[in-house]
Amino acid sequence: MEFELMEWFQLAVRWIHMITGIAWIGASFYFVWLDMNLTPPEKEGCKDKAGVGGELWAVHGGGFYEVQKYRLAPPAIPQTLHWFKYEAYFTWISGFILLTILYYFGADIYLIDRSIADISTDAAILIGLGSIIGGWIIYDLLCKSPLINNQMIFGLVLFTLLTLASFGLSQVFSGRGAYIHVGAIMGTIMVANVLMIIIPGQVALVSAAKKGEPPDPVYGLRAKQRSLHNNYFTLPVLFIMISNHYPMTYGNPYGWLLLAGISLVGVLVRHFFNMKNQGRAKQGFILLPIAFVLFFAIAYAAAPKSEDAPTEKISFATVETIIHERCTSCHAAKPTNTDFETPPKGVRLETSAQIAREKTRIKQQTVDTKTMPLGNLTQMTDEERKIIRWWISQGASTD
Ligand code: HEC
C-alpha cells in the first residue's frame, strides 16, 4: 500500500482554503450589499433618535430579519459583538500553505519553466516571496499618498501596477506560477487590509464608543477605502484560483495580458453589482454587455492560430517516439520521474491506444499552449510540437 500523505494533506488544505474563502467573500459581499441597500428609518422618530442611520428588512430561511446600522456607535456596546476576521486570516494561511507545498517545495515542477527563465529554486522562491511582500508595501504606500483621493486614478494606477507585476512575473516563472503569484499578491493585500487597517480601525471605534467619545472619522474613512479595494479584487482573485484548470489562459504566450483583460471583466461585473445595489442598475446595465463582449474578444484573440499545413504524412512511429521521450517519464502507470508516484491527473501515455485517446488534450497541452511537458523538464522542441500538430490535423491515426 502506498500512503500518499502529502496528497491528502494538500487536499485537506485546499478544501479548507475554499471553505474559509467562501465564508470570507460571502460575508464581505453580504455586508457590501447590506450597506448599499439600507434605507433611512421608516418612521422619523424613535429609531432615528437612537442613532440608527439605516435599516433593512429581509426574509431568508423561513424568518424575517431586521437589520439596523448606527450612524456612529450605539449608546452602549453590547455584550456580544460579532467580528468578521478569522475567515480572512484562515483563507490567507491555508492559501500560503498551499502555495508553499505546491509552488515552493515543487518549484522545479510548477514554478520554474527553464524555457522561460533558467533560475535556481532559491532564486525563484525569493522572487515569489519578494513579490508578495513588495506588492503589499507598494500598495500601502499608494494608499497613503494623495492618489487615494481620486478613486478613478487610484484604480487605474493600481491596475497598471498589477499588470506590470503580471508581466514581470511571467518573464521569470511558468505561466501558472506567474498567475498564482499575482493572485497571492492580491490576496495578501486583501487580508493585510483586514489585519492592519480595517480591524484596528474597528478596535479604535469600539474603544472610543466604550469611553463615550466620538470616534476619529479617519478610521472609518480608511476602512471604507480599503474595503472597496478588496471588493474589486474579489472577482479577479477568484478567477486566478480556478485558472490553473485552464492552460489556455496561463499557457498563452500573452498570458499576462489575458490576465489583465479577464481581471477587467471581473472589475466591470463587480462595478455593475455595486451600481445595482445603489439603485443605479439601469445606468450600470451597459457594463454587462461590455464585459461579455470583452470576455469573448479575449477568448477569440487567445485562440491558437493555425499555421502551415504538412506536406508529407506523419507516421505514428515518429509521434510515439516523441511522446515516449518527452511525456512517459511522468505519464506512466509507474512514472520513472521520482516526483510522481502515480500518473499525474491519471493521464497515461504509454500505449498507442492511450496516446490516441488523449489526442485532444495532448494538443491542448503541447501545441495550443506549452503547458506540457511540465516546466518543459524533458525539453520538448518546437519542431516536435509541430509534428504533433500535423499528426492531429491529419486525423491522428495510429497506423
Ligand atoms: C515532469 C512531469 C511531466 C511531464 C514530463 C509531462 N507531464 Fe503532463 N502532467 C504533469 C502534471 C503534474 C500534470 C497535472 C497538472 C495539474 O495539476 O494541473 C499533468 C497533466 C497533463 C494532462 C492533463 C491536463 C488536464 O488538466 O486535463 C495532459 C493531457 C498531459 N499532462 C499531457 C502531457 C504530454 C502530452 C506530455 C509530453 C509532451 C506531458 N504531459 C509531459 C506532469 C508531466
Q: What is the pLDDT of residues 178-235, one digit of tens each?
A: 999 999 999 999 999 999 999 999 999 899 888 888 878 888 889 889 999 999 999 9
pLDDT at 2: 59
Contact 77, 340 (CB under 8 A): no
Burial class (CB in 10 A: 0-12, 13-18, 19+), 375: buried
- In short, whether 345's Cβ falls inside 6 Å of ligand 1 is yes
- Which residue has a Cα nearest atom 29 of ligand 1? 361
Q: Is 373 in the pocket of ligand 1 (CB under 6 A)?
A: yes
387 lines ligand 1 (CB under 6 A): no
Centre of ligand 1 from the C-alpha of residue 119, in Å:
22
- Beta-carbon contacts of 378 under 8 Å, excluding residues fewer than 6 positions away, are 325, 326, 327, 329
347 lines ligand 1 (CB under 6 A): yes
Closest CA to 81 of 200, 212, 203, 196: 203
Q: Supply the pLDDT for residue 45.
A: 56
Q: What pLDDT score does 75 carry?
A: 81
End-to-end CA distance of the chain: 38
Ligand 1 centroid–CA 307 distance in Å is 24
Task: Name the stretches of the chain with pLDDT < 50.
Answer: 1
Return the C-alpha cell found at 337.
520521474
Residues 124 and 180 sit within 8 Å (Cβ to Cβ): no
The verdict on whether omega for the bond into residue 74 sits within 30 degrees of 0, i.e. cis, is no
For position 249, what pLDDT does the model report?
94
Say how many Å lie between the CA of residue 333 and the centre of ligand 1.
13
> CA of 74: how far to CAs of 37, 53, 99, 173, 180, in Å?
20, 11, 42, 51, 42
Q: Is the CB of 363 under 6 A from ligand 1?
A: no
Q: Tell me, in angstroms, the distance from the centre of ligand 1 to residue 256's CA.
A: 22
For 27, 88, 123, 288, 378, the CA distances from 231, given in Å and listed in that order, are 11, 13, 33, 18, 42
Distance CA 230, CA 224 (A): 10
365 CB less than 6 Å from ligand 1? yes
Residue 85 is predicted with a pLDDT of 93
The pLDDT value recorded for residue 49 is: 62
Question: How does pLDDT run across 39-74, given as a tens digit for each residue?
Answer: 888 765 556 667 788 899 999 999 999 999 888 788
Among 11, 174, 365, say which to mutate for ligand 1: greatest number of ligand atoms within 8 Å of CB. Answer: 365
- The rounded distance, in Å, linking the Cα atoms of 253 and 224 is 38
At residue 304, the pLDDT reads 77
* Cα 183–Cα 189–Cα 35 angle in degrees, nearest 5: 105
- What pLDDT is stored for residue 254 in this prediction? 94
**Residues recorded for the chain:** 399
Q: Is 392 in the pocket of ligand 1 (CB under 6 A)?
A: no
